[in-house]
Amino acid sequence: LGCCDTKNRKTPYRLENPEIIASETVFSVSEVEALYELYKKISSAVVDDGLINKEEFQLALFKTNKKESIFAERVFNLFDTKNNGVLDFGEFARALSIFHPDAPLNEKIDFSFRLYDLKQQGYIGREEVKHMMLATLAESGMNLSDEVIENIIDKTFEEADTKHDGRIDKDEWESLVLQHPSLLKNMTLQYLRDITTTFPSFVFYSQVEDT
Amino acid sequence: TKPVTMNAFELISRSQGLNLSNLFEK
């Protein structure tokens, strides 16, 4: 079972102990196992290697691998905490835990901040906001003039950038989202509450006894 | 009170790429 035994390299990817994942997330052991059913589906869509690559992630999000999205890319990279270009089940489950309705608000705030801090500079800059706005508009086919876009960004920074340095730092982001909770709407997935009923087949593979 | 205006992040947060509920849809 050694991690570095080269003979075991071709062994199919094994589920990380669900009890450990459950202890580190808001999920119960059964929920972790049900989530694994979703993970198996996504991770076998292109290459059945037990890992989710970027293409499979985009395919699951958009139902097409032709679509490119800076957001999907950023979300994938944030999920990929080991930074090796693929998501193992532990990374997938731990990241999705942040999206659970019962996850702590500060985790959602932190994740959303890192999401929008595209350049990973520790703050959200004006250029990043414009870049993300243009991407969203292009995605939805909505057309706004540059003047209107600049105006919206001006207003947003007027409100958010309370230190007036042209940047939205973590504290400013926190204040902004507490004023506008709807900005965190996409950080909560109601689906995660019903994960065991969505994927009931997990009971056939369960490695733990019911308590 | 401030006038109600569209916040840039409100618009951005509607991006399809940020809607992870799609992962659960068949």
pLDDT tens digit sequence for A152-171: 999 999 999 999 999 999 99
* A156, A185, A198 ranked by CB distance to B8: nearest: A156
Contact criterion met (CB < 8 Å) for A129 and B8: yes
Q: What is the mean pLDDT of residues A203-210?
A: 70
Query: A38: which 2 tokens?
Result: 């979703």
- Asked if B4 is an interface residue toward chain A (Cβ–Cβ < 8 A), one would say no
Q: Residue A26's closest CA among A76, A77, A99, A82?
A: A99
Question: Minimal Cα distance from B21: which residue of A?
Answer: A189
Name, in order, each residue with C-beta under 8 angstroms of A165's C-beta and a sequence gap of 6 or more.
Answer: none
Read off the pLDDT of residues B3-25 as tens digits, 9 standing for 90 and up: 456 799 999 998 988 999 989 88
pLDDT in tens, A52-107: 999 999 999 988 877 778 999 999 999 999 999 999 999 999 999 999 999 999 99
Beta-strand (E) ranges in chain A? 52-53, 86-87, 124-125, 167-168
Q: List, for residues A101-155, the tens digit of each pLDDT value.
A: 999 999 999 999 999 999 999 999 999 999 999 999 998 888 899 999 999 999 9
Which ipTM did the prediction report? 0.84
Cβ-nearest to B18 among A75, A156, A190: A75
Phi, psi at B8, each rounded to 5°: -55, -40
Dmax over CA atoms of chain B, in Å, equals 44
Q: Which residue is associated with the tokens 């890319």?
A: A73
